[in-house]
Amino acid sequence: MLSTAARIIIAQQAYGGGRNMKKILFYVIIFMVCVAFLEQRIDYYTSGSLTARSPIALSFASFGAISFESRLDSWAKIDSAASPQELEQITKTILNNLDLNTTRVRSEDSAQISRWEYQVEQKNGWLKLNVEADYQKDQTSIVFAYSSVDPEVRLDEWVLKLEALPDWDWHHYYLYKAYLPGTVDAAGRQELAEKVMAKLEAKTKEVFTDERIETRSGYSKALSQMADPVWVGNHQVNVQSAVRSQTDGKTLLLVGSPLILGDY
């Protein structure tokens, strides 16, 4: 038979052990909650950083190309010529919608054309807006251009702001540029052009080969939400890639959606 004192000691030990176990369980639960929270934050930022970059920029990064320019060219047109007062209102409405300062606007008027222009240098690039009424052609056009050297830039954010403006039918052309150190021969250019198209899950419709350049035009479902397709010959395309051997010892990679604008 245990004495009363012995029973009290055993009970105290059991109670103390129970309290310790409860503390351990409490700390384990807290630890698990913290881990779950951190995993959630990591997933959020990881998914955010991936979705922030375009499929084209990601395709460059996948084989070590160094991005150096991302550009957006957008334009819209209506079949009537706005008055100078209407052009001013259109310009300020667009700039306000783009969260840009309206005090840097310049205007020019003549019997044939009325024009409002905005241009600004930004930290990693530049932005231009041109709103013009042609009284001979009886039409008004808006041209927006933005270029950035930041590989993480979100061109689609500008597109969403432009599309939020009513009564204008916008057309958007994206251009991404990157380079690889060193030059490649004709076979290497062909391989790179095909690799870019494969990364974008694009089916090639048109091929062009020159002395120093290789291009592919095709259709990519991965870019179907990016830009409206255009007709090239008998095919609809929404992506064009070009690989050019430079005289400075680099290999230039360009991808445009739906096409590459300008010389390449």
Token pair belonging to 32: 């698990």
Spatial neighbors of 178 by CB under 8 A, at least 6 apart, are 60, 65, 66, 67, 68, 252, 253
Query: 129 — phi, psi (to 5°)?
Result: -135, 130
- Which uninterrupted H or E stretch holds 20? helix 4-52
> Residues 60, 178: contact at Cβ < 8 Å?
yes
pLDDT for position 246: 92
Cβ-contact 87, 133 below 8 angstroms:
yes
Residue whose tokens read 């807006």:
129
d(CA 37, CA 131): 49
Residue stretches of the chain with pLDDT short of 70: 1-53, 264
> Which amino acid makes up residue 220?
S
Distance CA 29, CA 26 (A): 5
Is the pTM higher than 0.75? The answer reads: yes
pLDDT digits (tens, 9 = 90+) for 192-201: 999 999 999 9
Token pair in block for residue 11: 């009970």
Nearest to 58 by CA among 148, 258, 49: 49
